[in-house]
Amino acid sequence: MADFFNPTEEHKQLREMVRSFAEREVAPQAEEHDRAERFNVDLFRRLGSELGLLGVTVPLEFGGSGMDATAAVIVHEELAAADPGFCLAYLAHSMLFVNNLAVNGNDDQRQRILPGACDGTLIGGMCMSEPNAGTDVLAMGTVAREDGDHFVLDGQKMWITNGAISDSELGDVFLVYAKQEERSSRALSLFLVEKGTPGFSLGQKIHNKLGMRASTTAELVFDGVRVPKENLVSAPGGAVKSMMRNLAIERVTLAAMSLGIARRSIEIMNDYARDRAAFGQPLNRFGQIQRHIAESYAEYMAGRAYTYQVASQLSLDAFGNRLDSDGVKLYCSTMGKNVADRAIQVLGGYGYVGEYQVERLWRDAKLLEIGGGTIEAHHKNMTRDLSGLDKLL
Amino acid sequence: MKIVTTVKRVTDPDMKVKIKPDGTGIVTDGVEYRMNYFDEYGVEEAIRLKQEHGGEIVVVSVGADASTKEIRTALAMGADRGILVETDEELDSDAVARVLAEVIKEEAPDIVLMGKQSVDTDRNQAGQMLAAYLGYPQATFAFELKVADGWATVGREVDGGTSTKRVKLPAIVTADLRLNEPRYASLPGIIKAKRKKIDRKTPGDLGVDTANRVNVLQYEAPETRAAGQIVESVDELIEKLRTEAKAL
């Protein structure tokens, strides 16, 4: 019963459960929340309270489900096929916050925060990018100054998914990367910052995004935010390693989102090309259309095989998978966008309007070439890693 | 309270069914399978009964080895243990009922919850036949179920409305769609289900001869619907109903 994409019976059951939930509960609300630029908080909490998906990779003792990177890929692939925007909020919470804390936090932090984050009571996110520092992450300007038994954080963070859960309300809890003491330093530290801490506020909820509009994106402001020392995650100045570890699973699950987008796009263009006739024949009898469909499928399956292969080798607490975790995202993000683009082309005028979903999938797909690492960042990282190799095994 | 609930592995009703060229069955290559929808309502009701009254839920399937997947899904939803009566034969409803009757005799539950019919063959017979073989009372097409003091009060959907029936336990109750809203098998449930036990038996172990009494001779697709026509007048409509449709 097991196969390459469902290596155990539990993976298969997980996929079927998520697909069934995604088709019945997630897909029907996608267009409305995209149009309104609104995050469906109630549906999101059900992923935790009802399905146990918010802590997919978290050890059982902290309220999670204790599964592996492949399971995380399955959940993202299936949710993104229904609603990539909603799935992005899931990713920011479950991978960037929850998995990050589960891997890098100490037992006290994990016991205090993870059960609520796994059951959907708390909604979390991760803060790395800043208004003036993205790919060049070590150029960040947020600093944490030690003051007695506290750290004092000053700075701004930008493009934070789940930074707000509505137009005016902050998310509940964040992992924030900051430099210790001085901006010139290359050492980063990681802090847990909770809503309600004085000086921590919502700068703005970002509006008019091209896609991923069913998730919120925000600018967050840290103005003399006093964070108790027990909220320092991993060693002071040692957060670059934590960051690298978590970036690997982030990129593999972002690649999985592109797979979901590609699958849905292929299903839609395939159905349409079978049913719609022109010049007395179904569209799929025409070579130009056949090329769109066949190339899309082959590229999707190639990306899928690469992603599941990398996921199967990815240990959540190790780092050093950068070449291929960047590689799957580099390949799949552009593949997903191209497949959605071909779906629009096959559907013609119908593809250009909301009812047939593919225009939304295309808008959502574009973000994956930018967020979680631009494709240019992947080029840089991969070439650097490859430059140390003489032969590929 | 001990509850037996049954699940059948069926072809996904949302797919397009293709009949084999020789008419001996349907094409099963590349076909997706799932738990019969009506059985999901039975499993859900079993879980709700257990939450209210305590006890144990035993989930039973009669079918090929692959049916363990549907049993596991029921275990992930909250059933306690499973029994697979394994057979690669296509059994008729009567044979299924006789197999189930032997399992029920061994398990001696207080109530048996089944889907009212399976969405593949839609025969709507196994529950009724099972009640007859066991000499149990039956209440079919349940949209509401209450259990107290050794009796079940069952709201039933019947032609033209609803009716209420009281049956003494043990009894067979078959579920209709409005009985409840089945839960999803949660991920923690899926992981717990891995450690739950599934006993395997064969019809032979139970002493049941499963030779079919109802044999399928031929599968045929229904005639494809002819295109509609637009008529100019009522007279023409009546004329066509009389001569072409032969409906008058």
| Residue A186: predicted pLDDT | 80
Neighbouring C-beta atoms of residue B236, cutoff 10 Å:
12
Cβ A242 vs Cβ A111: under 8 Å:
no
- Is residue A32 among the annotated active site residues? no
In a domain, A148, yes or no: yes
Cβ neighbours of residue B149 under 8 Å, at least 6 residues apart?
Answer: none
In a domain, A362, yes or no: yes
The whole domain housing B194 covers 2-243
Please state the φ and ψ torsions of residue A258, each to the nearest 5 degrees.
-65, -35
In a domain, A320, yes or no: yes
Cβ A57 vs Cβ A112: under 8 Å:
no
* DSSP β-bridge partners for residue A175: A126, A192
Domain tally, chain B? 1
CA dihedral A192, A197, A199, A202 (to 10 degrees): 80
State the CATH number of the domain containing residue A330. 1.20.140.10
A-interface mutation test, from B33, B40, B183, B190, most A Cβ less than 10 A away: B190
User: Which residues from A are below 8 Å from B34, CB to CB?
Assistant: 16
pLDDT interval class at B189 (50, 70, 90): very high
Instruction: Please state the rounded mean pLDDT for residues B206-224.
Output: 89
Q: Of A374, A355, A371, A34, give the one whose Cα is nearest residue A215.
A: A34
| Residue B29: predicted pLDDT | 84
Instruction: Please state the rounded mean pLDDT for residues B174-182.
Output: 95
Q: Is the CB of B185 less than 8 angstroms away from the CB of A21?
A: no
In a domain, B165, yes or no: yes
Q: Domain check: are A176 and A254 in the same one?
A: no
CA distance A340 to chain B (A): 24
State the CATH number of the domain containing residue A185. 2.40.110.10
Q: Domain check: are A280 and A185 in the same one?
A: no
Q: Is the CB of B187 less than 8 angstroms away from the CB of A52?
A: yes
User: Residue A184: is its pLDDT beyond 70?
Assistant: no
Interchain CB contacts (distance < 8 Å): A and B = 48
- Give the closest of A1, A13, A20 to B190, CB-based: A13
Q: Scanning every residue of chain B, which has its alpha carbon at the shortest distance from the alpha carbon of A9? A: B69
Instruction: Please state the rounded mean pLDDT for residues A111-133.
Output: 96
pLDDT interval class at A238 (50, 70, 90): confident
B-interface mutation test, from A10, A18, A50, most B Cβ less than 10 A away: A10
Amino acid at B24: T
State the CATH number of the domain containing residue B124. 3.40.50.620
Structural domain ending residue among the three candidates A217, A233, A249: A233
Tell me if chain B has a CB within 8 Å of the CB of A254: no
- Give the closest of A12, A13, A65 to B188, CB-based: A65
SS in 3 state form for chain B? Answer: CEEEEECCEEECCCCCCCECCCCCCECCCCCCEEECHHHHHHHHHHHHHHHHHCCEEEEEEEECHHHHHHHHHHHHHCCCEEEEEECCCCCCHHHHHHHHHHHHHHHCCCEEEEECCCCCCCCCCHHHHHHHHHCCCEEEEEEEEEEECCEEEEEEEECCEEEEEEEECCEEEEECHHHCCCCCCCHHHHHHHCCCCEEEECCCCCCCCCCCCCCCCCCCCCCCCCCCCCCCCHHHHHHHHHHCCCCC
Q: Domain check: are A132 and A99 in the same one?
A: no
Instruction: Report the complex ipTM.
Output: 0.86
Q: Chain A window 320-349: which residues touch B at a Cβ cutoff of 8 Å?
A: none
Instruction: Please state the rounded mean pLDDT for residues B94-112.
Output: 97
Q: Domain check: are A147 and A284 in the same one?
A: no
User: Which residues from A are below 8 Å from B189, CB to CB?
Assistant: 52
- Give the closest of A1, A21, A66 to B191, CB-based: A66
Instruction: Please state the rounded mean pLDDT for residues A224-234.
Output: 95
Tell me if chain B has a CB within 8 Å of the CB of A3: no
Structural domain ending residue among the three candidates A123, A143, A173: A123
| Residue A321: predicted pLDDT | 76
In a domain, A1, yes or no: no
Structural domain ending residue among the three candidates A211, A233, A255: A233
Tell me whether residue A41 is exposed, middle or buried, using C-beta atoms within 10 angstroms of its C-beta: 0 to 12, 13 to 18, 19 or more.
Answer: middle
Cα B48 to Cα B54: distance, rounded to the nearest angstrom: 9
Q: Scanning every residue of chain A, which has its alpha carbon at the shortest distance from the alpha carbon of B33? A: A16
Q: Domain check: are A96 and A132 in the same one?
A: no
Q: What is the mean pLDDT of chain A?
A: 95
- Give the closest of A17, A50, A60 to B190, CB-based: A17
Q: Is the CB of B190 less than 8 angstroms away from the CB of A53?
A: no
pLDDT tens-digit readout, B20-38? 989 888 888 888 899 999 9
pLDDT interval class at A183 (50, 70, 90): low
Instruction: Please state the rounded mean pLDDT for residues B105-130.
Output: 95
Q: Domain check: are A138 and A50 in the same one?
A: no
- Give how far Cα B19 sits from Cα of B14, B34, B216, Å: 15, 19, 13
Q: Is the CB of A10 less than 8 angstroms away from the CB of B194?
A: yes
Instruction: Please state the rounded mean pLDDT for residues A58-84.
Output: 96
Tell me if chain B has a CB within 8 Å of the CB of A61: no
| Residue A32: predicted pLDDT | 97
Higher pLDDT, B159 or B114: B114
Q: Looking at A114-118, A204-208, B22-26, which range is the least confident one?
A: B22-26
User: Which residues from A are below 8 Å from B73, CB to CB?
Assistant: 13, 16
In a domain, A75, yes or no: yes
In a domain, A393, yes or no: no
User: Which residues from A are below 8 Å from B9, CB to CB?
Assistant: none
CA distance A382 to chain B (A): 35
pLDDT tens-digit readout, A356-379? 999 999 999 999 999 999 999 999
Q: Domain check: are A116 and A158 in the same one?
A: no
- Give the closest of A13, A53, A56 to B72, CB-based: A13
Please state the φ and ψ torsions of residue A215, each to the nearest 5 degrees.
-115, 155
pLDDT tens-digit readout, A125-167? 999 999 999 999 889 999 999 999 999 999 999 999 999 999 9
User: Residue A1: is its pLDDT beyond 70?
Assistant: no
Q: Please give the share of chain A, as a percent, with pLDDT higher than 70.
A: 99
The whole domain housing A46 covers 9-123
CA distance B246 to chain A (A): 32
User: Residue A6: is its pLDDT beyond 90?
Assistant: yes
Q: Scanning every residue of chain B, which has its alpha carbon at the shortest distance from the alpha carbon of A60? A: B188
Q: Is the CB of B187 less than 8 angstroms away from the CB of A17?
A: yes
SS in 3 state form for chain A? Answer: CCECCECCHHHHHHHHHHHHHHHHHHHHHHHHHHHHCCCCHHHHHHHHHCCCCCCCCCCHHHCCCCCCHHHHHHHHHHHHHHCHHHHHHHHHHHHHHHHHHHHHCCHHHHHHHHHHHHHCCCCEEEECCECCECCCHHHCCCEEEEECCEEEEEEEEEEEECCECCCCCECCEEEEEEEECCCCCCCEEEEEEECCCCCEEEEEECCCCCCCCCCCEEEEEEEEEEEEHHHEECCCCEHHHHHHHHHHHHHHHHHHHHHHHHHHHHHHHHHHHHHCEECCEEHHHCHHHHHHHHHHHHHHHHHHHHHHHHHHHCCCCCCCCHHHHHHHHHHHHHHHHHHHHHHHHHHHHHHHCHHHCHHHHHHHHHHCCCCCCCHHHHHHHHHHHHCCCCCCC
Cα torsion angle, A149, A154, A157, A162, sign: positive
Say whether the peptide bond before residue B137 is cis (omega within 30 degrees of 0): no
Q: Domain check: are A357 and A244 in the same one?
A: yes
Domain tally, chain A? 3
pLDDT tens-digit readout, A327-365? 999 999 999 999 999 999 999 999 999 999 999 999 999
Q: Please give the share of chain B, as a percent, with pLDDT higher than 90.
A: 77
User: Residue B177: is its pLDDT beyond 80?
Assistant: yes
Residues written for chain B = 248
| Residue A219: predicted pLDDT | 97
From A250, A299, A359, A369, active-site residue: A250
Q: Domain check: are A257 and A212 in the same one?
A: no
Cβ B131 vs Cβ B137: under 8 Å:
yes
CA dihedral B104, B110, B116, B122 (to 10 degrees): 0
Instruction: Please state the rounded mean pLDDT for residues A188-193.
Output: 96
- Give the closest of B34, B73, B186 to A52, CB-based: B186
* Tokens at B204, concatenated: 């032979």
Q: Is the CB of A10 less than 8 angstroms away from the CB of B191?
A: yes
Q: Domain check: are A131 and A115 in the same one?
A: no
In a domain, A215, yes or no: yes
A-interface mutation test, from B33, B84, B184, most A Cβ less than 10 A away: B184
pLDDT interval class at A182 (50, 70, 90): low
User: Residue A263: is its pLDDT beyond 90?
Assistant: yes
Q: Domain check: are A104 and A135 in the same one?
A: no
User: Which residues from A are below 8 Å from B69, CB to CB?
Assistant: 1, 9, 12-13
In a domain, B248, yes or no: no
pLDDT interval class at A224 (50, 70, 90): very high
State the CATH number of the domain containing residue A65. 1.10.540.10
Q: Looking at A163-167, A221-225, B100-104, which range is the least confident one?
A: A163-167
Instruction: Please state the rounded mean pLDDT for residues B56-70.
Output: 96
Residues written for chain A = 393
CA distance A15 to chain B (A): 10
Q: Domain check: are A349 and A282 in the same one?
A: yes
User: Residue A2: is its pLDDT beyond 80?
Assistant: no
In a domain, A3, yes or no: no
Q: Of A4, A1, A3, A2, give the one whose Cα is nearest residue A305.
A: A4
Q: Is the CB of B189 less than 8 angstroms away from the CB of A20?
A: no
pLDDT interval class at A88 (50, 70, 90): very high
- Give the closest of B69, B183, B190 to A14, CB-based: B190
Amino acid at A304: R
Q: Please give the share of chain B, as a percent, with pLDDT higher than 70.
A: 100
pTM of the model: 0.90
What are B's interface residues with A at a Cβ cutoff of 8 A? 34, 66, 69, 72-73, 76, 183-191, 193-194
Instruction: Please state the rounded mean pLDDT for residues A73-97.
Output: 98
